[in-house]
């Protein structure tokens, strides 16, 4: 199977939402419908963040999504890119779709002059971590949230 990466388009809403819901289920997360609406609207704003990319198979079927955004850093001169969400359909995993989505974010970051791309995952996400160990470098940082 060959994989093509392209920008998320307004005609992708139903396919995107199916993957978005599956992504949330995987991470055992629930968001109110208003958040999904807001996320979609943000993704469709060409002047804002976040940005969205999709992976499609030979037949044009969407098989994966990613969202990324740019921000400034006190540690770097240029912008930093945060790869916030990445999801590939279970049946399409190990086809190169995840790697292609990450590499497309790398290319977008390079085009924007970002010197860093980073992302988070949960420790139990073993399948994805096998890929992440090949395309990135784990850091010693731990994430904390406000209690």
Q: Establish if 140 belongs to a structural domain.
A: no
Better-predicted residue by pLDDT, 71 or 141: 71
- The answer to whether residue 142 is domain-embedded is no
Domain presence at residue 141: no
Asked if residue 21 belongs to a domain, the reply is: yes
User: CA neighbours within 13 Å on the CB side: how many for 48?
Assistant: 8
Question: What's 65's domain CATH number?
Answer: 3.40.630.30
Q: Which residue, among 56, 58, 49, has the nearest Cα to 19 in the 3D structure? A: 56
pLDDT of residue 91: 94
Where residue 103 falls among pLDDT bands split at 50, 70, 90? very high
Position 123 scores a pLDDT of 87
Contact 8, 16 (CB under 8 A): yes
Residue 66 lies in a domain: yes
pLDDT digits (tens, 9 = 90+) for 120-147: 998 888 889 999 999 999 999 888 889 8
Confidence check: pLDDT of 51 > 80: yes
Q: How many domains does the chain have?
A: 1
Q: Is 107 helix (H, G, I), strand (E, B) or coil?
A: helix
- On whether residue 57 sits in a domain, the answer given is yes
> Is 58 inside a domain boundary?
yes
Q: What is the mean pLDDT of residues 72-79?
A: 94
Please indicate, yes or no, if residue 43 is contained in any of the structural domains: yes
* pLDDT at position 143: 85
Q: Let me know: does 105 contact 53? Beta carbons within 8 Å.
A: yes
């Amino acid at each position: 199977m060959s994989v093509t990466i392209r920008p998320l388009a307004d005609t992708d809403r139903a396919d995107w939402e199916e993957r978005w819901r599956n992504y949330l289920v995987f991470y055992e997360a629930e968001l109110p419908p208003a958040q999904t609406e807001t996320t979609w609207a943000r993704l469709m704003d060409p002047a804002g963040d976040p940005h969205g990319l999709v992976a499609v198979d030979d037949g044009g079927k969407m098989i994966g999504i990613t969202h990324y955004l740019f921000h400034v850093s006190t540690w770097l001169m240029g912008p930093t890119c945060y790869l916030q969400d990445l999801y590939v359909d279970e049946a399409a995993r190990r086809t190169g779709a995840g790697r292609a989505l990450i590499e497309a974010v790398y290319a977008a970051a390079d085009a924007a002059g970002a010197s860093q791309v980073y992302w988070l995952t949960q420790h139990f996400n073993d399948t994805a971590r096998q890929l992440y160990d090949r395309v990135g470098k784990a850091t010693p940082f731990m994430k904390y949230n406000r209690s």
